Chain A
Amino acid sequence: MQKPSPEALITRSAIALDRIDYASWLECFAEECRYEITTFINLANGWPCGLLHAFSKDQLRDRIASIETVNVYEPHRYRHILSQTHQTHTGMDSIFVTAFSVYRITANRSTILFATGEYQDRFKYEASGLSIRERTVVLDNEQIDTLLAIPL
């Protein structure tokens, strides 16, 4: 793995999902990682429970395995449109914030604007490369159209 910038890794993770290349998406995360999807309303109220909470990379692997082999839903894919990344402060613990829009594409259905929000990312820096240590996906709106199977 080359040494990408945080911005390049964020883009790579989004394009991997858009291409339904879950293996590449998983590669973006550190082995010890946390990935959560919640909403601005939950955060504003101090409510911990959002939509999806993975506390290890194995739980992310389980999510992918389940949506690939167990869960039943109409096949679809996403298209992420990302903003430039804003670094909130410097140092090892800095958070990188990237706004996104995600469209959902389902065969024979209209493409819909499925979600808007932001990634709040923390990274793990190693000689071998960069990986996502913590990602909180904060949705602007709490209403999910139909279901959320594929992570954002």
Chain B
Amino acid sequence: MTDNLTRIPLRSYTDVDRYNDEIRKIVQGKTWHFIGFESQIENPGDYSTTEIAEIPVVVLNDAGAIRAYVNRCVHRGSILCLSEKGNINQFECVYHGWTFDLKGNLNGVAFERGIKGQGGMPPDFNKEEYRLRELKVENFCGVLFATFDFDTPEIEKYLGPEIAAGVRRVLPSKPIVIGRTSQLIRSNWKIYVENNHDSYHASILHSFFTTFKLNRLTQSGGIVINEAGGSHISYSKRKQEADDQVYDSEQLRANHDEFGLKDPGALRFIDELNDQISLQILTFFPLVVFHQISNSLCVRQVIPRGIDRVEIVWWYYGFSNDSDELKNARLQQINLVGPAGYISMEDGAVGEFVQRNSPHSEGADGLIMMGGNGYESSASRVTEAAIRGFWKQYYEMMDA
């Protein structure tokens, strides 16, 4: 533990023991994880499979009730549902044919009584003692979340009122998936998550943003951090012309006056949520990010894959009542986001740069001093307060 949130040892990104602790204490602790969309499992028996960290999970519609289980047979640990989606009336393991009902109860063991009195399970074997490991599920505005700990408070309370309102803001009706892509970043998962808490870098690293005056730190906006520290919102409203002078005087690399778009179709913003906010990055501790970048709406599912790999699954969504104009805007704005996005591709690169420099870095810290040493909300985005908030909640869970 540290009571100093302004210095984070770089070895935090390379310590394997710490990684295993994170999966046990944080991922399988009192935290919520994205597991899919309600619209993917509309019919009774529909299921979809996903992962939380590297733990396989199956999400199921059990006659209208949404359930989630670790996708692992209690017999030998093999995968129960192999496909990414499907429809079942019971779980059946391909390895030895053990079956489970949709409530997770073991109800069939092949050759349980043996054959002709030979072999079979011991007489005291009781199927009722075995069931799939179930997760607690919450359907939040059509997005499904799960937690390994049944004592985790409900999402509204977990996030706090302001962050929960920020999630509801980008989910005004039931979301439907309109595309998906995935990005493998060769860095520790925390470097990617910190990057999403880092409002300081956005208009510096992502030159495209500033070149086209899409997002400048002088735009009106702010940072909202929840009480727990690890979830936050960074948002900005549409640009006001008066802001330009401050930036131009800073002579940032991000300003390329000679560069203009020949076809700016990707830059058109439709104020669909009627509040002038054109950018909202919301982190949902520990492994979920909701982004609104103009009209691109997305859930970024962060999947740690070992100490120095993290996969980001970008789930783009829209709504069934989207106009053609809005559908077109969401499609055009794909060019801004994701692994090939003008304003997000750099995040894949910088995470690797930090990771590459982290081994054998005893004594070297990352400095998180912008905006003081606390993690309070502010109107300024020239702050690293939200990164400190992440570490505050992180250390609290790791030290518990």
Contact = CB atoms under 8 A, between A and B. Distances in A.
B345 A73 contact: yes
B348 A147 contact: yes
Contacts of A37: 340
Question: 8 tightest CB-CB pairs across the interface, nearest first?
Answer: A49-B179, A58-B263, A58-B262, A148-B340, A144-B339, A147-B345, A147-B348, A47-B179
26 contacts: A37-B340, A38-B179, A39-B180, A41-B180, A50-B179, A50-B334, A51-B334, A53-B331, A53-B332, A53-B334, A56-B263, A58-B263, A66-B342, A69-B259, A70-B207, A72-B350, A73-B346, A142-B180, A144-B183, A145-B184, A145-B186, A146-B186, A146-B339, A146-B348, A147-B348, A148-B339
Contacts of A58: 262-263
A128 interface: no
Q: Chain A interface mostly helix, strand, loop or mixed?
A: mixed
Given A70-B259, A147-B349, A52 B335 contact: yes
A70 B254 CA distance: 7
Contacts, number: 121
Nearest to A61: B262
Contacts of A38: 179
Interface string B248-286: 000000001001011101100000000000000000000
Contacts of B177: 45, 47
Contacts of A148: 339-340, 345
Nearest to B353: A74
A52 B334 contact: yes
Contact of A54 (B181, B207, B335, B338): B335
Contact residues on B (Cβ < 8 Å of other chain), bracket: 35 or more
Interface residues of A, number: 37
Contacts of A45: 177, 180
Contact of A70 (B256, B332, B350): B256
Interface of A: 37-39, 41-42, 45, 47-56, 58-59, 61-63, 65-66, 69-74, 142-149
A146 B184 contact: yes
A72 B327 contact: no
B179 A143 contact: no
A22 B349 CA distance: 22
Contact of B346 (A47, A71, A145): A71
Given A61-B262, A71-B208, A145-B184, A55 B332 contact: yes
A52 B342 CA distance: 10
A149 B340 contact: yes
A150 to B, nearest CB: 10
Contact of B178 (A49, A61, A146): A49
A59 B352 CA distance: 29
A56 to B, nearest CB: 5
